[in-house]
Structure 1
Amino acid sequence: MTRRIVWTLLVLTCVLLMLAVVPLAVSLTARERVAHRDSQRAATRVIAAAAEEHLSDGKPDTVVRKEIAAAARAGDCVAVYDSSARLVTGTRCEAARGDEAEELVEDVLRGREPEPPESEGRLLTAEPAGDVRAPAGAVVLARSATPLDARIAAIWGWSAAIGVAGLAASVLLSVRLARWVSRPLSTLDASAQRLGEGALDERADVGAGPPEVRRLAATFNTMAARTEALVHGHRAVIADVSHQLRTPLAALRLRLDVLAAGSDDATAADLAAAQEEISRLSRLVDGLLAVARAEQATPRPTPVRVAEVLGERVAAWAPVAEERGVRLAAGSGGEGPTVALGAGHLEQILDNLIANAVDAVPSGGSIRIDGRAAGGTARLRVRDDGPGMTTDAKAVAFRRFGNPEAGGTGLGLAIVHRLVTVNGGTVWLEDTPGGGLTVVMELPLWPERTGGPRSLPDPKKT
Structure 2
Amino acid sequence: MSRRIVWTLVILTSVLLVLAVVPLAVSMTARERVAYRDNQRAATRVIAAAAEEHLSDGKPETAMRRELDAAARAGDCAAVYDASARLVASTPCTAAQGNEAEELAEEVLAGHEPEPPENEGRLLAAEPAGEVRQPAGAVVLARSAAPLNDRIAAIWGWSAAIGAAGLAASVLLSVRLAHWVSRPLSTLDASARRLGEGALDERADIGGGPPEVRRLAATFNTMAARTEALVHGHRAVLADVSHQLRTPLAALRLRLDLLGAGAEGDAATELAAAQEETARLSRLVDGLLAVARAEQATPRPTAVRVDEVAAERVAAWSPVAEERGVRLSSGSDGPVLSVALGAGHLEQILDNLIANAVDAVPAGGTVTVEHRATGPSARVVVIDDGPGMSDEAKAVAFRRFGNPEARGTGLGLAIVHRLVTVNGGTARLTDTPGGGLTVVLDLPLWQGRGSLPDLKKS
Match of 1:158 in 2: 158
- Whichever residue aligns with residue 25 of structure 2, its letter is A
Match of 1:270 in 2: 270
Q: 1:446 to 1:264 in 2, by over 3 A?
A: same
Match of 1:16 in 2: 16
Query: What pairs with 1:164-313 in structure 2 (closer than 5 Å)?
Result: 164-264=164-264, 266-313=266-313
- Whichever residue aligns with residue 267 of structure 1, its letter is A
Cα distance between partner residues in 2 of 1:105 and 1:380? 101
Q: Cα offset for 1:173? A: 0.9
Match of 1:457 in 2: none
Q: Cα offset for 1:264? A: 3.0
Match of 2:445 in 1: 445
In the alignment, structure 2 segments of 5+ residues that lack a partner are 453-458
Contact persistence 2:334–2:373 (CA under 8 A) = no
Contact persistence 1:318–1:328 (CA under 8 A) = yes
Contact persistence 1:361–1:384 (CA under 8 A) = yes
Q: Across the two proteins, how many residue pairs are aligned to each other?
A: 452
Q: Cα offset for 1:408? A: 0.4
Q: Cα offset for 1:143? A: 0.4
Q: Cα offset for 1:73? A: 1.4
- Whichever residue aligns with residue 293 of structure 1, its letter is R
Query: What pairs with 1:4-83 in structure 2 (closer than 5 Å)?
Result: 4-83=4-83
Contact persistence 1:191–1:204 (CA under 8 A) = yes
Match of 1:363 in 2: 363
Cα distance between partner residues in 2 of 1:37 and 1:77? 15
Cα distance between partner residues in 2 of 1:450 and 1:315? 28
- Whichever residue aligns with residue 333 of structure 1, its letter is D
Q: 1:143 to 1:440 in 2, by over 3 A?
A: same
Task: Tell me the alpha carbon deviations over residues 121-172 of structure 1, each in whole angstroms, 9 at most, x when there is no partner.
Answer: 1101111101112211111101011110111011001101110111011011
Q: Cα offset for 1:3? A: 0.7
Cα distance between partner residues in 2 of 1:316 and 1:56? 130
Contact persistence 1:307–1:335 (CA under 8 A) = no
Contact persistence 1:55–1:82 (CA under 8 A) = yes
Contact persistence 2:332–2:372 (CA under 8 A) = no
- Whichever residue aligns with residue 150 of structure 1, its letter is D
Match of 1:96 in 2: 96
Cα distance between partner residues in 2 of 1:64 and 1:344? 111
- Whichever residue aligns with residue 200 of structure 2, its letter is L
Cα distance between partner residues in 2 of 1:310 and 1:278? 33
Q: Cα offset for 1:375? A: 1.8
Q: Please list every run of at least 4 consecutive aligned residues from structure 1 whose deviation after the TM superposition is greater than 4 angstroms.
A: 448-452
Contact persistence 1:81–1:137 (CA under 8 A) = yes
Q: Cα offset for 1:175? A: 0.7
Contact persistence 1:401–1:409 (CA under 8 A) = yes
Cα distance between partner residues in 1 of 2:93 and 2:65? 15
Contact persistence 2:302–2:340 (CA under 8 A) = yes
In the alignment, structure 1 segments of 5+ residues that lack a partner are 453-462
Task: Tell me the alpha carbon deviations over residues 190-227 of structure 1, each in whole angstroms, 9 at most, x when there is no partner.
Answer: 11011100011010111111111111011101100000
Contact persistence 1:330–1:368 (CA under 8 A) = yes
Q: Which moved more, 1:439-448 or 1:92-101?
A: 439-448
- Whichever residue aligns with residue 34 of structure 1, its letter is V
SS in 2 for 1:340: strand
- Whichever residue aligns with residue 5 of structure 1, its letter is I
Q: Cα offset for 1:332? A: 2.7
Q: Cα offset for 1:450? A: 9.3
- Whichever residue aligns with residue 165 of structure 1, its letter is A
Q: 1:4 to 1:89 in 2, by over 3 A?
A: same
Task: Tell me the alpha carbon deviations over residues 421-442 of structure 1, each in whole angstroms, 9 at most, x when there is no partner.
Answer: 1111111111111000111111
Contact persistence 2:9–2:170 (CA under 8 A) = yes
Q: Cα offset for 1:335? A: 4.0
Q: 1:451 to 1:421 in 2, by over 3 A?
A: farther
Q: Cα offset for 1:74? A: 1.1
With normalisation by structure 2, the TM-score equals 0.96
Q: Cα offset for 1:331? A: 1.6
Task: Tell me the alpha carbon deviations over residues 236-267 of structure 1, each in whole angstroms, 9 at most, x when there is no partner.
Answer: 00011011111111111222222222333543
- Whichever residue aligns with residue 324 of structure 1, its letter is R
Cα distance between partner residues in 2 of 1:198 and 1:62? 105
- Whichever residue aligns with residue 387 of structure 2, its letter is P
Q: Cα offset for 1:93? A: 0.9
SS in 2 for 1:150: helix
With normalisation by structure 1, the TM-score equals 0.95
Sequence identity, in percent? 80
Contact persistence 1:336–1:371 (CA under 8 A) = no
Q: Cα offset for 1:448? A: 5.0
SS in 1 for 2:343: coil
RMSD: 1.4
Cα distance between partner residues in 2 of 1:94 and 1:327? 117
- Whichever residue aligns with residue 387 of structure 1, its letter is P
In the alignment, structure 1 residue 399 sits paired with structure 2 residue 368: no
